[in-house]
């Protein structure tokens, strides 16, 4: 395994960047896949919360989202169904408004994606959020793969339901892990040659399955289990862990 821990000790290698049980520099080109969570990791918002704002229910939905991300709600699928049900009646143009006016790439996101692609890695976006946003980000950043949940839209309005897809019903933590492992198999990559980056409890299963787990401004439970924790600065601070070779 590329990142076999030498101990479980944590050390800060520079302000806001700490490592658990690994010694840099690693080589980025020794990895073959990087998997990103979307909401609050690759991008600055929780999309479901911002859509709920259009329905006048942001506080209610955001409270459930926060509890789910902290790991206080064990059934992610049911929590997402509850939140999506509250979005019934939101118009499709309001989704577009969230994308245009509220969604921003987190600092360093584009730079990290470019660096990974230049080093030969494939890039996967795997999210408990929605295809409306993940597909646009996939195209915008020229990502190799994307998987997330599909909102049902009828007559230009959300129905409050999530549509099943060929791979299953809802992309929760278990599906994130399965997606990362299947992508590894698809590209001929051992899971130890994969990186997974996230911030919430539903990212832990995929983070535990790979060689290098990265917590980005993450919930305490996630930060405590990641091999790399970025608490300040942008996503591209991950590159500080790697050498130039």
Element at 147 (helix H, strand E) = strand 145-154
Task: For residue 110, give the CATH number of its domain.
Answer: 3.40.50.1000
pLDDT at 215 over 80: yes
| pLDDT tens, residue by residue, 65-82 | 999 999 999 899 999 999
100-131 burial, b if ≥16 CB within 10 A, otherwise e? eeebebbebbbebbebbbebebbbbbbbbbbb
Domain that holds residue 210: 10-45+105-241
Domain-located, residue 139: yes
Q: Work out the pLDDT band at 3, boundaries 50, 70, 90.
A: very low
Give the pLDDT of residue 150.
98
Residue 245 is predicted with a pLDDT of 39
Q: What is the mean pLDDT of residues 161-175?
A: 97
**141 domain-assigned:** yes
Facing residues of 12 across strands? 18
Give domain status of residue 72, yes or no.
no
* pTM flag (> 0.85): yes
Flag whether 100 is in a domain: no
> Which burial class, exposed, middle or buried, applies to 245 when counting CB atoms under 10 A from its CB (0-12, 13-18, 19+)?
exposed
Tally of domains within the chain: 1
Q: Is the CB of residue 36 less than 8 Å from the CB of residue 141?
A: no
Kindly state whether residue 149 falls inside one of the protein's structural domains: yes
Give 217-241 pLDDT, tens digit per residue. Answer: 999 999 999 999 999 999 999 999 9
- The pLDDT value recorded for residue 175 is 98
Contacts of 90 (CB under 8 A, 6+ apart): 51, 54, 55, 157, 158
DSSP 73-105: -S-HHHHHHHHHHTTTT-BHHHHHHIIIII--B
Query: Is residue 27 a part of any domain in this protein?
Result: yes
Report the pLDDT value the prediction gives residue 143, as an integer from 0 to 100: 98
59 in a domain, yes or no?
no
Catalytic residue numbers?
Answer: 37, 39
Please indicate, yes or no, if residue 86 is contained in any of the structural domains.
no
């Amino acid at each position: 395994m590329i990142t076999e821990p030498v101990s479980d000790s944590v050390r800060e290698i520079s302000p806001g960047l700490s490592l658990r049980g690994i010694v840099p520099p690693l080589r980025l080109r020794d990895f073959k896949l990087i998997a990103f969570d979307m909401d609050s990791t690759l991008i600055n918002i929780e999309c479901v919360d911002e859509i709920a704002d259009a329905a006048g229910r942001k506080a209610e939905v955001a409270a459930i989202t926060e509890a789910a991300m902290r790991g206080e709600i064990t059934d992610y699928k049911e929590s997402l169904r509850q939140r999506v049900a509250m979005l019934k009646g939101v118009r499709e143009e309001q989704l577009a408004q969230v994308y245009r006016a509220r969604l921003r790439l987190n600092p360093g996101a584009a730079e990290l994606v470019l660096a990974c692609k230049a080093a030969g890695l494939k890039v996967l976006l795997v999210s408990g959020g929605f295809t409306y946003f993940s597909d646009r980000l996939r195209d915008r950043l020229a990502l190799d793969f994307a998987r997330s949940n599909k909102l049902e839209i009828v007559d230009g309005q959300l129905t409050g339901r999530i549509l099943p897809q060929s791979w299953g019903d809802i992309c929760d933590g278990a599906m994130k892990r399965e997606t990362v492992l299947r992508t590894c198999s698809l590209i001929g990559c051992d899971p130890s040659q994969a990186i997974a980056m996230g911030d919430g409890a539903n990212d832990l299963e995929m983070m535990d399955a790979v060689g290098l787990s990265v917590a980005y401004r993450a919930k305490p439970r996630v930060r405590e289990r990641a091999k790399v924790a970025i608490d300040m600065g942008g996503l591209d601070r991950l590159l500080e862990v790697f050498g130039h070779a």
